[in-house]
Amino acid sequence: MCRHCIAVLLLITECIVRLWQSGKRIAMAKKSKQIALKELAARQGGYFSAKQAIELGFGNNTHSHYCQTNQWFRIDVGIYYLKGNDGSYPFGELFRWAFWSRSNDGKPQGIICHESALHFCGLVEIAPKKVCLAVPADFRKNSPAVSIYKIEVPSHEIMRKGVLRIAKPGWVLAELKDDLSRQGIFVETVRGAIAAGYLTLPLARMRGWLPELQECAPKTGEMAMGELSERHQGKGGLVTSPVTGGYKFRREYGRMRGIQAFTLVELLVVIAIISILAALLLPTLSKARQITQSIACGSNLRQVGIAFQDYASDHRGALPFAYWVYLADNIELTWDDLLDHYLGGNLTDAQKKHYYSNVPKPLLVCPVDGVSHLRSYSANGAGVDKGTMVPRYNVYPAPPVFRLGRDITQPSGTILLLERPSDNQTLGNCSCCYALSPDQQESGIGAPAHNGKWNYLYCDTHISTKFPFDTVGTGTTALPKGEWTRATGD
């Protein structure tokens, strides 16, 4: 039972994890896709890609409609601009060229670098005439509005702002040191990078860029404090850089993909869904467990049936008797004693004659009963002598036995062994080792163990799961006929 509870808990936990992972999608579904697209475009300077539109629910075949109705403007293949964007984002063109550089899988390949990266970070005042992009060596596109640099930017030198990838100022300054020095702005740009937090003073000294910065350090600190005091004074998400007078992208505005927290209503919905799933799954799991136990029980009976066949082969087709008790010679033999060797046991003849075992044989125990019952199965002793195995108490000689083929002419329709779980079931004990009828079969624990049915082993070793009243033929559950007797046609 604990194993099944753990399985249910693991299944519920997996559902919770999947629901948690889809939380943002649930929140997004509450908004219209038009609003979602407007928010996305606003974060990207008004631009968006066809792939992003499809992900938001705009089918590929609808894009031309939005362009024809002037809701979207087609800028390039797979690149659109949303009508009504206020244009307040100062670096929107960078998104356009990032989308332009995309690969076949829709991912931008270009990295904003050189002067474009410095301008994005607010370290140079005037934007370059062309957008500077670092691209892979196999990049084939070209445009007069873009300066292509086929160089590799180390992954640790790349900043991410949504779909944009921007080279860090430290790497750019190392690449442009000579050009900026000729323009006389290298030292001032490095100071700006330190004040803005893009570069550290020890790293600048280590690279030998600012040997005179020891004198400028207090000034740099003042500029950094000035920047912090002005951080929330910019208009439209921008602040004036205290270093160059240019513009610096505000960190708060740069959080392109904010993660929305779950609301109380959403959490209650998730809890309700989990409760419903648990209510649906628990009965199914319980039924599956019962089916598994019934199959395991049938498998045990099938192997016991093979042991009966082996015994009959060694005894000229004769089946064992149900039990024989003869007090004068202190004999108490049961069918499981006689099958001990065929079930993998090692009892001696003396032990078999009078031996009660407290060690269960797994094949003789139904999984529904558990280890509390040392034997779950009983012989068919219907009508004392009408069944397949005969019980005898305190008589001599030993009980008669019946042979397959001679006495049992319909082995596929004659019960050999049946379930009879009881607290009195003990290996080698004649108590409960046989059953005369379905009523006696159910006297131990009451209701049948497998969804109202019992497993039955037949003389041809096949297993059938049936209601007790389906086995009695023209008889009753108190005086059975049909499959309980060796006779035919009853």
| Helical residues (DSSP H) of 331-467, grouped into ranges | 335-338, 349-353, 438-441
In the chain, the largest separation of any two C-alpha atoms, in whole Å, equals 123
279's tokens? 């209510």
Between the ranges 47-56, 260-269, 427-436, where is the mean pLDDT highest? Answer: 47-56
Q: pLDDT at residue 242 above 60?
A: no
Least confident of 88-92, 335-339, 351-355, 380-384: 88-92
What's 1-51 look like in SS3? Answer: CHHHHHHHHHHHHHHHHHHHHCHHHHHHHCCCHHHHHHHHHHHCCCEEEHH
- Distance in angstroms (rounded) separating the CA atoms of residues 334 and 433: 7
pLDDT for 147 equals 92
> Where is pLDDT greater, at 70 or 445?
70
pLDDT for 43 equals 82
Q: pLDDT at residue 485 above 50?
A: yes
> What share of the chain has pLDDT > 70, as a percent?
79
Least confident of 105-114, 217-226, 399-408: 217-226
Task: Identify whether 397 is preceded by a cis peptide bond (ω within 30 of 0).
Answer: yes
pTM of the model: 0.46
pLDDT tens string 183-241: 888 888 888 888 888 888 888 877 777 664 544 444 444 443 334 334 333 333 333 33
Confidence category of residue 282, pLDDT binned at 50, 70, 90:
confident
pLDDT average, residue stretch 114-131: 88
pLDDT for 462 equals 95
- Distance in angstroms (rounded) separating the CA atoms of residues 29 and 36: 9
Under a CB-based contact definition with an 8 Å cutoff, are residues 389 and 335 in contact?
A: yes
> Where is pLDDT greater, at 357 or 203?
203
pLDDT for 19 equals 67
> Where is pLDDT greater, at 130 or 264?
130
- What SS3 state is found at 249? strand
pLDDT average, residue stretch 309-322: 92
